[in-house]
């Protein structure tokens, strides 16, 4: 992956120096409130290696977000395929994020996500990018709305990877953004 730069951020692939932060955002109760699992250090290290390989292979994925002024890694934002979610159409690309809580509410996710949307639509030529979250995850759906995404209630789904032991986390809302709507929003903002 070629690093991308926004006004305040660098979006790049994961580095070994990010392992502590990657573990923290995958084990923190507040960050993982809407997930049925927490990763211990070994699981987080293995997942980081997996995610890093995806980013290397595809040139995109859930990439590290670094504050340009400090070099501090704060979490991830990126786009990736949804092949492992069989209720979504083949070829569906999602945008997703996860930040350490002390960086919430500063606009970092929206800033990084805007760069990823531009990359997806302009560089990759995608027709649509989706996002989804647990029904009650209002923080994530607020970001989706800020990005200009629209709810598609007819496509809401029960996430197949959420175990029956966590019924309150099964239902996911789906938001969509087409390239045409993204371009119109960009033109209107000028």
Domains and CATH numbers, the chain: 4-189 (3.40.630.30)
- When pLDDT is averaged across residues 121-150 and rounded to a whole number, the result is 96
Q: For residue 113, what pLDDT is reported?
A: 98
Q: For residue 1, what pLDDT is reported?
A: 83
Beta-bridged to residue 95, according to DSSP, are 79
Beta strands at 157-158 and 128-134: parallel, antiparallel or unpaired: unpaired
43 to 1, 26, 28: CA distances (angstroms): 23, 9, 14
118, burial (CB in 10 Å: exposed 0-12, middle 13-18, buried 19+): middle
Query: pLDDT tens digits for 36-56?
Result: 889 999 999 999 999 999 887
């Amino acid at each position: 992956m070629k690093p991308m730069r926004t006004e305040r951020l660098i979006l790049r692939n994961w580095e070994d120096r990010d392992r502590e932060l990657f573990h923290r955002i995958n084990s923190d109760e507040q960050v993982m409130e809407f997930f049925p699992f927490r990763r211990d250090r070994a699981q987080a290290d293995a997942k980081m290696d997996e995610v890093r390989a995806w980013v290397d292979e595809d040139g995109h994925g859930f990439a590290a977000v670094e504050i340009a002024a400090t070099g501090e890694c704060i979490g991830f934002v990126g786009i990736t395929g949804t092949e492992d979610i069989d209720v979504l159409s083949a070829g569906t690309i999602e945008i997703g994020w996860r930040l350490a809580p002390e960086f919430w509410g500063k606009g970092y996710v929206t800033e990084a996500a805007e760069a990823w949307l531009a990359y997806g639509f302009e560089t990759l030529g995608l027709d649509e990018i989706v996002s989804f979250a647990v029904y009650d995850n209002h923080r994530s759906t607020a970001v989706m709305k800020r990005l200009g995404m629209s709810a598609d209630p007819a496509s809401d789904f029960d996430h197949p990877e959420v175990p029956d032991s966590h019924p309150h986390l099964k239902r996911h809302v789906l938001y969509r953004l087409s390239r045409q709507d993204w371009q119109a929003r960009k033109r209107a903002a000028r």
